[in-house]
Structure 1
Amino acid sequence: MSATKKTGGKGKSKAELKLDLLPGLIGYQLRLAQLAVFGDFAAELKDFDISPGRFGVLVLISANPGMTQSLLASATQLDRSTMVAVIDQLEARGLVERRASPTDRRSNALVLTSEGEKLLKQLKRRIKQHETRIAAAMTPAETAKLVDLLTRIRSKLQAGTERRTSKK
């Protein structure tokens, strides 16, 4: 298989780029899809200066007020030091607040501020438009099947990674 790609510049001819086995690889197609989805996300939410990861963090904190940074790091598959930086940024923007945990003095309970809740409400409306564009080429049944297949792939690979890691 090949793809036609402009080599750039005015008046230059198109060059054939041979992709060999890439188009048939699940990982390659997932990566291209991820780039397209993130690009559309960025375009849809450019006015809000928010990444897909930060959006997910806001959603999780809103759905689980009082959750710890450790639990949030685990849920988002980020290491704890990265999560501290993410929360620092969201806190600096006035979207998230750290409160002393009522059950563990060593950890913080995370909650959205009223500004964070307000922003999340706006983001959710815009995300619906983004998701509609992603699913536009599929029927609702195909969309559900795709989500199921992606979930199965992720679960299977994570379980395999955990087994390989625990053997070391």
Structure 2
Amino acid sequence: MAEILRPIGAIARALDGISNIEFKELELSRGQYLYLVRIAEQPGIILERLAAILKVDKTTAARAIQKLERNGIVERRPSPTDKKQKQIFMTAKGQALYPIIHRENTYSNQVALQGFTPAERDQLADYLNRVETNIAADWTAVKHGHHRNY
């Protein structure tokens, strides 16, 4: 069987490391850019949904959002339909940071896909989305206290 998880992990760690270094001057600490991107893509997202998308536990997501909120990058507002829920939005400061993060993401994608034909790029994206879908079920199960059978 082909080993795919090691290269995927190495790619993820390399790009995360680059982003964390480059975004430090934007006052974004480790991994906070990931939250900002998802909030930009889905203004008004709730914490539980954000945590699920990023595959982190709710406590980790809450801490990250609190830091972003303290730095004036995001704000939480009561949901108009459910007063117990808080929706998360970018502030003007967050909106100013997003284009920089988006440019970095576009650049990283271009570098990663050098030498691939458009058809190969689409095929790779499809394969990786399928891998993510396959893993998501295990992630959810383990997060809810279940054990995988090896």
Please give the range of the TM-score, normalised by the shorter of the 2 chains: 0.7 to 0.9
User: Is the 1:58–1:116 Cα contact (8 Å) retained in structure 2?
Assistant: yes
Q: Which residue in 1 is equivalent to 2:71?
A: 93
User: Is the 1:66–1:110 Cα contact (8 Å) retained in structure 2?
Assistant: yes
Greater mean deviation of Cα atoms: 42-51 or 86-95: 42-51
Compare relative contact order (CA 8 Å, sep 6+) and give the higher one, 1 or 2.
2
**Structure 1 position 35, deviation (Å):** 2.8
| Residue type at the aligned position of 2:113 | A
Equivalent-residue separation in structure 2 for 1:163 and 1:80 (angstroms): 15
Q: Which runs of 4+ in 1 moved over 4 A?
A: 160-164
Q: Which residue in 1 is equivalent to 2:132?
A: 154
Unaligned runs of 5+ in 1: 1-20
1:31 is the counterpart of 2:9 = yes
Equivalent-residue separation in structure 2 for 1:167 and 1:43 (angstroms): 36
User: Is the 2:75–2:90 Cα contact (8 Å) retained in structure 1?
Assistant: yes
Q: Which has the higher strand share?
A: 1
**Structure 1 position 65, deviation (Å):** 1.8
Q: What does residue range 9-158 of structure 1 map to in structure 2 within 5 Å?
A: 24-42=2-20, 44-50=22-28, 53-158=31-136
Equivalent-residue separation in structure 1 for 2:138 and 2:89 (angstroms): 34
Aligned CA distance change for structure 1 residues 51 and 30 (closer, same or farther; 3 Å): farther
Aligned CA distance change for structure 1 residues 126 and 161 (closer, same or farther; 3 Å): closer
Task: Provide Cα deviations, 1:47-88, integer angstroms capped at 9, x if missing partner.
Answer: 335468422321221222222112211222221111110101
Unaligned runs of 5+ in 2: none
User: Is the 2:37–2:101 Cα contact (8 Å) retained in structure 1?
Assistant: no
Give the secondary structure class of the aligned counterpart of 2:129. helix
Q: CA RMSD in A?
A: 2.9
User: Is the 2:138–2:148 Cα contact (8 Å) retained in structure 1?
Assistant: no
| Residue type at the aligned position of 1:25 | E
Equivalent-residue separation in structure 1 for 2:15 and 2:34 (angstroms): 14
User: Is the 1:98–1:111 Cα contact (8 Å) retained in structure 2?
Assistant: yes
Aligned CA distance change for structure 1 residues 37 and 142 (closer, same or farther; 3 Å): farther
Output the TM-score relative to the length of structure 1: 0.72
The structure whose Rg is larger is: 1
